[in-house]
Chains A and B, each alone.
Chain A
C-alpha cells in the first residue's frame, strides 16, 4: 500500500503568516489522485482539496494545493483563526486508500 508521510508534524505560526504543508508518497500517485482534509478539534474531517489542486466549493482561495508524482503540498497564504487545525492528505490512486499521519497547525 502507498504510505504517505506528512511534514512537519506540527507548525507553530501566527495569524497572517503563510503555512506550507508537505505530503510525500512512498510511490508515485498517478493522475494526481490526492486529497486534503482539515480537522478542527472535536469535529469530523472536512474535504478541502481533491485532484491535488481542485478546491471544494466554499473553501477560501487562500488555501491551495499542488504537486505531482510523490511530492504534494498544501499552502495557506495568510492564516486566519479558523485555519488552526490538523490537516491530512489522502491518496486514492490505489487500494487501500491511505492517509498521512497529519500536520497540526498551531497558533504561535
Chain B
C-alpha cells in the first residue's frame, strides 16, 4: 500500500518561507512522479506542481499561481518529497497534499493526509 505522510506545516507571516516534507513508502520512490495539490479552507482543489522521476529527467512543472515562489525537490536516498514555499501570501493558506501519480498521466492515485499551512500576520 502506498503511503504518503506530510510534515512541516504551520503558521507563517506574509512574505515568509516554509518547507513541507512528504515521506513516501510502498512504492519504488526513485521511479515515482509526485505532485503537490492544495485546498484552501472550505474550497476546492488546486494543483501546485509536479516533479518527475530522475529517470524521466527529474524536471518540475508549476502553475502560474506559484511559479517562481514554490520549488519542488526530491531526495531519492530518503524517499522524501519537498515543497519549498517562499514569498508566501495570505491566499496560500491551505491544506497541502502530497500525491502520487501512478502513471505518466497527471492524475493522482494516492494522497497523503495533508499539512495545514496558515499565512497570517
Could you list which residues of chain A lie within 8 angstroms of chain B, going by C-beta atoms? 1, 33, 35, 37, 44-47, 50, 56, 88, 90, 92, 95-102
Contacts and interface: CB of A to CB of B under 8 A. Distances in A.
A50 B108 CA distance: 9
Interface of B: 44-47, 61, 63-64, 97, 105-114
A1 B62 CA distance: 13
A45 B39 CA distance: 10
- Closest 6 pairs between A and B when the two form their complex, measured CB to CB: A44-B111, A92-B106, A35-B107, A96-B63, A99-B45, A97-B106
A82 B107 CA distance: 23
Contact of B45 (A45, A50, A56): A45
A88 B45 contact: yes
Given A95-B61, A96-B63, A47 B45 contact: no
Given A95-B61, A96-B63, A47 B109 contact: yes
